[in-house]
Structure 1
Amino acid sequence: MFKKILLAYDGSEYANKAYEYVLELAQINGGCEVYLISVANIPEFVNSKDEVDEALNAAKLYYGKILGNARKLANEKGIKIFTEVIPGHPVDSVIRFAEKHECDLIVVGKKGTSGVKRYIIGNVAENIARHAKCSVLIVK
């Protein structure tokens, strides 16, 4: 059914639940490729390129460890997985990545649902679902 599944992964509780779904889907759809990406959301307003580089390097180190742990679990289950840390705005970056790699499904974890957090965080999953060209699964 699915040939390429993309999971936007940040190591949070919801992302971990989404990862469990992705692993199950990958096993059901034997032979599908799984892309696990973390987006390093770099601040728009910085004083220098060095600040951007520093923030990006810190994000790559942090997410690299998280993605490495996730990759081990997939490898143990015999699932073909690719991981990458990419800079940019979360919504735009996830959608661009999915289009570039011709993903059939984007999976995201649902985050905060109340107050300001909903508008800052939950809005990412909602906007991915709204603007993606492929199917989107939001895991609660």
Structure 2
Amino acid sequence: MKKICIALDYNPSAEKVAETGYDYAKALGAQTTLVHVITDATYYDIDYSPIMGYTSAFAKNNLEVVDELVHGAENFLSASAQHLGSGDIKTEVLKGETADAILDYCVKNKIELLVMGTHSHGVLENVLMGNTAVTVVRHAKIPILIVPTKNIK
């Protein structure tokens, strides 16, 4: 395996996910890419009309908000790569539904191993809200390393 993708969110457990994934990448001599998905960024890019007398704070500067979300995610990934201690780690901010964006990225970039965490939500929560890790596992066509992160602070 020569290309590994590590998907990170803003949960404090992302450190464990990144370190675990990068340990695998080093052992395999693989190229590493850290990704973070901005979900529903297009939601902030809508020009809202006043609704019941309320004008959204995003109405005037919605593109700036999206740019700030992307910039914040880029900074997060850059700091994560520095934490891991390698200048060779690539970073990529993705947009869209989290599972779809990760799966599409892996296909387009010929990723051979995906590393991600799972927050181990309960069964009812998974049924009602879904679970990104479960969705990715169901639809991925490549091996996935799931790092359990429950109770990590």
| Range of TM-score over shorter length | 0.7 to 0.9
In the superposition, relative to structure 1, how do residues 68 and 114 fare at CA in structure 2: closer, same or farther (>3 Å)? same
Q: Establish whether residue 61 from structure 1 lines up as the match of residue 71 from structure 2.
A: yes
Provide structure 1 residue ranges, at least 5 long, that are not aligned to the other structure. Answer: none
RMSD of aligned alpha carbons: 2.5
Q: Distance in 2 between matches of 1:130 and 1:53?
A: 34
How many residue pairs get aligned? The number is 135
Percent identity between the two aligned chains: 25
Alpha-carbon shift at residue 89 of structure 1 (Å):
0.7
Q: Does 1:98 align with 2:106?
A: yes
Match of 1:72 in 2: 82
Contact 1:14–1:110 (CA under 8 A) maintained in structure 2: no
Deviation digits for residues 105-129 of structure 1, max 9, x if unmatched?
A: 1111101513765453x61011101
Larger Rg: 2
SS at match of 1:13: coil
Q: Whose helix proportion is higher, 1 or 2?
A: 1
Checking the alignment, whether the CA contact within 8 Å between 1:27 and 1:79 is kept in structure 2 is: no
Task: Kindly report which structure 2 residues correspond to 1:3-22, keeping only aligned pairs within 5 A, or say none.
Answer: 3-22=2-21
Distance 1:53 1:116 in 2: 36
Q: TM-score, normalised by structure 1?
A: 0.82
1:58 Cα offset (Å): 2.7
Q: Check conservation: 2:81, 2:87, Cα contact below 8 A.
A: no
- TM-score computed with the length of structure 2 as normaliser: 0.76
- State how far apart, in whole Å, the 2-side matches of 1:34 and 1:123 are: 24
| 2:131 alignment partner, SS class | helix
Amino acid at match of 2:71: L
8 Å CA contact 1:71–1:81 kept in 2: the answer is: yes
